[in-house]
Amino acid sequence: MINAVKQPQSVVLLGGTSEIGLAIVRALPTARLQRVVLAGRPSERLAAAVDELAAGLAGVDVSSVEFDADRPDTHAEVLDSIAAGGDIDVIIVAFGVLGDQEEINAEPAAALPLIQTNYVGGASALLQSADLLRRQGRGSIIVLSSVAGDRARASNFVYGSTKAGLDALAQGLSDSLVDAGVSVLVVRPGFVHTRMTEGLTEAPFATTAEAVAADTAKAWAAGKHVVYSPPVLRAVMGAMKALPRPVFRKVSAR
Amino acid sequence: MYQRNELLTGWGRTAASAATVALPAPGEDPRVALESVVRDPHRAARGLVARGLGRSYGDSAQNGGGLVLKLPSGGLLLDSDSGTLTAEAGTSLDEILRVIVPQGWFVPVTPGTRYVTVGGAIAADIHGKNHHRDGTFGAHVRSLDLLTADGQVRTLRPDSADEFERDLFAATVGGMGLTGVILRATFGLLPIETSKILVDTRRTRDLDDVMERMVAADDSATYSVAWIDSVAKGKRFGRGVLTTGEHAPLAALTGPDLKDPTGYNPSMLASAPPFVPGGLLTPLTVRAFNEAWYRKAPLSRDAEVQSIPAFFHPLDGVGDWNRIYGPKGFLQYQFAVPDSGAHVVRLALEELQRIGAPSFLSVLKRFGPDNGFPLSFPMKGWTLALDLPAAVDSLGSTLDSLDEAVLAAGGRFYLAKDSRTTPATLAAGYPQIDRFRAVKAAIDPDHLFVSDQSRRLGL
């Protein structure tokens, strides 16, 4: 139950090894936290994430369940199995892959797994999460989108398109849930230093998983529906979207 | 049975959840609602809870994804020989007072609002300004009808020959609707000669002054309550206005009041607008309000004749006043501590001042002895209630540390007000909670009667 001062008791992270996702779990109010479930493909990294999180959250039951973003047919079942252990207050949808645009340019079929994970898997996880929370009559979803979805650029437009699709879905879903007691927060980070972006050239306004998590937790507590991280990107992306295409091509190629 | 989906909150307008609200018509059997839940495994898993007028501040009367049962008001049976009233659970004290006051009767206990139902009054085991004398509402209940999970309607009395029935009565009074649905009750009334109250008012210098005067008033006053200026600092810290009252005998009335000694005409003066932006109640505006409220009270005045609404239900004059806190809502922090824990009253006021949480409704009361019901809130000593905007930074952590001070002093928290505490903190304040749990396990083994609050607190 999320109480009157916005302290949740249970949090589920879909994409249990996501650095930003884990940082959000830690950044949300922990005073009433009783249970955290990290959902992901079984791996040493997932087990380590459970241990590390449990070490920082005394008295909280931290566990993992098997969850495969690429198998949407199993998503409902996994969520139901988690809910069997008690109501879920917050579901964070944090899985995703960056893909390799150059590889896709050379071999179009390479786009399909990226689309499958980010959009098909993401949409399925979002819709199934919303359905579960609707049956509970309450709860919050936090979904990781990206500024890459605000205006797709030549260097990663397939990734951008998957985030644009997921973002649009999340916003429409959010409006459809107004009377259901369920809220959706869309998080649009800029360039974040994580495993996913290792070795890539840093973009302007680059940030860290912890900073994104702090912005997210603040926006969640305030009942916001969309948050940019860092917050300045709201204005920056507003300007980017207004740029004429030749100018945007030049700016975004930098 | 008419049903609709609704987003529900408590009076504090925080932590909303959506539920199916069932509204039986007068005369329609509420068992139909219970059966519809029991029959369907998905609905049974989310259970049901009864809701009155939604005056509990937190999540007591909401049930996300489940059923919420709103019983209708109904006819009243006044037995003037025994001085008792039988009322349907959905009937409000407002409706009751309109009928009984002109006939020379008063309810044994009234809270600060008359917009509570009989079912809610029993489920929360409410108290009023006369608790130190007359105990809780539940202490005056002679019998109640309870619809339990097995579909039976049981008539329960506090003095039943059957031990389980006595235990079930005790667990139901203050049990927040978790033992079943209260359908109707019979309770004792207080005979009154007039509908007027003789009120003594004292402006008090500081917290010690008001607390000393209240202890002194324990034996002399039937009704007593103090409003505390929560923002006054320094020498004036804890200053307030103490009011005590007695039902006016006929001999005390003069002039126009004599024409109709038991006349009763409550009316709503104004209503808060439907939407109020956040940030209206700031430390500055609350300070101004508190200053004006303190100055408005006479330094000392005796035996002023006041009406029942003016003395007992001043806020009912403003409809939907809970909206003034804006969209983020508010919460009420109310605790009880024994006399030995009086220092916690000071600590709470100091801590909330420190974080700049403006409370313009801070009420201090004396409690008499507890009534032995396992989840009944009042205990001999003090109770302080503070309305606080939910949006204040660090409110959660400050209240958590106050919780510890309250528990350390042997105190406890009021379920009808709670919207944020923990299962452990609640249980620590109620030494008889296992007695409640044992009755619950026996009468509702499948946890059919649940609320957002009972899930949050593991009740």
Q: What is the CATH number of the domain that holds B371?
A: 3.30.70.2520
| A11-15, A150-154, B178-182: range with lowest mean pLDDT | A150-154
Whether the per-residue pLDDT at A182 is higher than 90: the answer is yes
Residue numbers of the domain that contains B296: 196-423
Please give the structure tokens belonging to residue B356: 């700049």
Return residues 26-55 of A near B (CB < 8 Å): 29, 31-32
The distance of A185 to chain B (nearest Cα, Å) reads 16
B49 domain residue, yes or no:
no
Of A67, A95, A119, A159, the catalytic one is A159
In a domain, B11, yes or no: no
DSSP 8-state symbol, B107: -
Of A29, A31, A181, which is closest to B16 when you measure between CB atoms? A181
Given this model, what pLDDT does residue B409 score? 98
For residue B329, list chain A residues with Cβ-Cβ distance below 8 A. 4
User: Is the same domain home to B139 and B243?
Assistant: no
In tens, the pLDDT along B95-139 reads 999 999 999 999 999 999 999 999 999 999 999 999 999 999 999
Chain B residues close to A59, C-beta within 8 Å: none
Put simply, the answer to whether A31 touches B396 (Cβ < 8 Å) is yes
Provide the domain count of chain B: 2
Please indicate whether, in this complex, the C-beta atoms of B19 and A137 are within 8 angstroms of each other.
Answer: yes
Quickly state the pLDDT bin for B273 (edges 50, 70, 90).
low
Both tokens assigned to B232: 């006054």
Interface list for A 131-160 with B (CB within 8 A) = 134-138
Residue B453 three-state SS: helix
Q: How confident is the model at residue A17 (pLDDT cuts 50, 70, 90)?
A: very high
Domain membership of residue B346 (yes or no) is: yes
When pLDDT is averaged across residues A125-151 and rounded to a whole number, the result is 97
Domain limits for position A185: 10-253
Q: How far is CA B69 from CA B26, B75, B457, in A?
A: 13, 19, 21
Distance (Å, whole) CA B318 – CA B308: 15
Same domain, B227 and B354: yes
- DSSP string covering chain A: ---TT---SEEEEESTT-HHHHHHHHHS--TT--EEEEEE---HHHHHHHHHHHHHSTT-EEEEEE--TT-GGGHHHHHHHHHTTS---EEEE-------HHHHHH-GGGHHHHHIIIIIIHHHHHHHHHHHHHHHT-EEEEEE--GGGTS--TTSHHHHHHHHHHHHHHHHHHHHTGGGTEEEEEEEE-SEESGGGTTSPPPTT-EEHHHHHHHHHHHHHTT-SEEEESTTHHHHHHHHHHS-HHHHHHHHH-
Task: Examine residue B26 and state whether it is found in any structural domain, yes or no.
Answer: no
pLDDT of B275 reads 66
ipTM: 0.94
Determine contact: A58 vs chain B, CB below 8 A: no
pLDDT digits (tens, 9 = 90+) for B225-272: 999 999 999 999 999 999 999 999 999 999 989 999 999 988 766 666
| Nearest CB partner across the interface for B64, out of A4, A6, A136 | A136
Would you say how long chain A is, in residues?
254
Q: What is the pLDDT of residue A253?
A: 79
Measured between CB atoms, does A74 come within 8 Å of chain B?
no
Q: Is residue A3 situated within a structural domain? A: no
Whether A169 is in a domain gets the answer: yes
- For an interface test with A, the pick among B63, B420, B426 (most A C-beta atoms closer than 10 Å) comes out as B420
Domains held by chain A: number: 1
Do B151 and B207 fall within a single domain? no
Q: Which among B5, B7, B15 is the nearest to A4, CB-wise?
A: B15
What's the CATH code of the domain at A65? 3.40.50.720
- Whether chain B has a CB inside 8 Å of the CB on A223: the answer is yes
Collect all residues of chain A within an 8 Å Cβ-Cβ radius of residue B400: 31
Q: How many CA atoms lie within 13 A of B429 on its CB side?
A: 29
Residues B214 and B228 in one domain: yes
Asked whether residue A40 is assigned to any structural domain, the reply reads yes
* Residue A4, in any domain of the structure: no
Residue A97 distance to chain B (closest CA, Å): 34
Judge: B18–A137 Cβ closer than 8 Å, yes or no: yes
The answer to whether residues B187 and B235 belong to one domain is no
Query: What is the per-residue pLDDT across B381-409, written as a single tens digit (0 to 9) for each?
Result: 999 999 999 888 889 999 999 999 999 99
B65 and A CB contact within 8 Å: yes
Interface test with B, best of A2, A5, A9, A136 (most B CBs within 10 A): A5
Q: What is the pLDDT at residue B286?
A: 80
Known catalytic membership, residue A159? yes
Query: Is B38 domain-assigned?
Result: no
| Distance between A87 CA and the closest CA of chain B, angstroms | 8
Mean pLDDT taken over chain A: 96
Evaluate whether residue A1 is within a structural domain: no
Residue B294: band (very low, low, confident or very high) from pLDDT cuts 50, 70, 90: confident
- For residue B443, being part of any structural domain is answered with no
Answer whether residue B201 is part of any domain. Answer: yes
Q: Do B253 and B227 fall within a single domain?
A: yes
Q: Are residues B188 and B227 in the same domain?
A: no
What three-state secondary structure class fits B302?
strand
Residue A162 pLDDT grade (very low, low, confident, very high; cuts 50, 70, 90): very high
pLDDT, residue A231, reads: 97
Confidence of residue B288 (pLDDT cuts 50, 70, 90): confident
Q: Do B7 and A181 touch (CB under 8 A)?
A: yes
Beta-bridged to residue B306, according to DSSP, are B197
Check CB contact under 8 Å for B420 and A134. no
Instruction: Annotate B218-270 with DSSP letters as a single string.
Output: TTT-SEEEEEE-TT--GGGTT-EEEEEEEEPPGGG--GGGGGSTT-------E
In this structure, the answer to whether residues B391 and B302 fall within a common structural domain is: yes
Closest residue in B to A177 (Cα) is: B18
Residues B186, B245, single domain; the answer is no
pLDDT at B454 over 70: yes
Q: State mean pLDDT over A5-26.
A: 98
A4 interface with B at CB cutoff 8 Å: yes
Residue among A186, A160, A156, A190 at smallest CA distance from A173: A186
Is residue A237 a contact partner of residue A229, using CB atoms and an 8 Å limit? no
> Are B270 and B149 contained in the same domain?
no
Beta carbons of A4 and B12 less than 8 Å apart: yes
Give the separation between CA B66 and CA B50, rounded to whole angstroms.
11
Tell me: do B102 and B188 sit in the same domain: yes
Q: In this structure, is residue B392 part of a structural domain?
A: yes
Residue A2 lies in a domain: no
Instruction: Give yes or no: residues B181 and B203 share one domain.
Output: no
